[in-house]
A and B are shown apart, each in its own frame.
Chain A
Amino acid sequence: AQKITQTQPGMFVQEKEAVTLDCTYDTSDPSYGLFWYKQPSSGEMIFLIYQGSYDQQNATEGRYSLNFQKARKSANLVISASQLGDSAMYFCAMREYDTGRRALTFGSGTRLQVQP
């Protein structure tokens, strides 16, 4: 079963507008973390933002924020005021803490294209 699902293979957004990238997850572990990474065309993986399962508030990091809905098991990334440099692949990943495992499980990614 898919643990991380990203249902949007591709998204377009106009420059300066906000965009939401969807991520749903599946776990029975009560303690987990959700990570978003950006992969530009150059290939590197850049950490963007983290949300812990016990965090009371949605995570924010500059123009990035997480819309974390625990009951729905979703952790959508919101990018505000999109810039051309935001064009990239975006991956959602999860780590389950109670298992003792450190491996990240990744979704299939969403390719975001920001249009001028």
Chain B
Amino acid sequence: EPEVTQTPSHQVTQMGQEVILRCVPISNHLYFYWYRQILGQKVEFLVSFYNNEISEKSEIFDDQFSVERPDGSNFTLKIRSTKLEDSAMYFCASSGGEGTDTQYFGPGTRLTVL
């Protein structure tokens, strides 16, 4: 069964460093998303991406964040200068755009900023 994959599973970085989180969405899906979940809190939407551009973003997704689909399979989230409060689980998701348009999530990347 097709699934969303994410790498790495765990990333530790120093405050102020740039990180890139990688995702491979389900191959025939058209819409891609990033969500984050701070430890013990609810899952929060960051951004959605369609047709090589951002279609929607939340207040959390400020200038420190960017997304890119550098090739036909990968979808990345870059945090330019990490802060302590960026420590969270980051989930990539994808959906096909039709019917219920259910979003399928990857296993997540746990980002720890020291």
Contact = CB atoms under 8 A, between A and B. Distances in A.
Contacts of B55: 102
B108 interface: yes
Contact of A35 (B91, B102, B108): B102
A101 interface: yes
B42 A37 contact: no
A44 B91 CA distance: 8
Interface string A78-105: 0000000000000101010000011111
A93 to B, nearest CB: 8
Interface string A17-61: 000000000000000010101000011111100101000000000
A44 B107 contact: yes
Contact of A103 (B42, B45, B89, B102): B45
A76 interface: no
Given A44-B105, A47-B105, A104 B100 contact: no
Contacts of A102: 31, 33, 48, 55-56, 95, 101, 103
B81 interface: no
Nearest to B110: A43
B44 interface: yes
B101 A103 contact: no
- Chain B residues touching A, range: 20 to 34
A47 B104 contact: yes
A46 B107 CA distance: 9
A63 to B, nearest CB: 19
B45 A105 contact: yes
B74 interface: no
Contacts of B93: 45
Contacts of B48: 102-103
Given A33-B100, A52-B100, A91-B42, A103 B58 contact: yes
B15 interface: no
B25 interface: no
A94 to B, nearest CB: 11
A103 B101 CA distance: 11
A35 B103 CA distance: 9
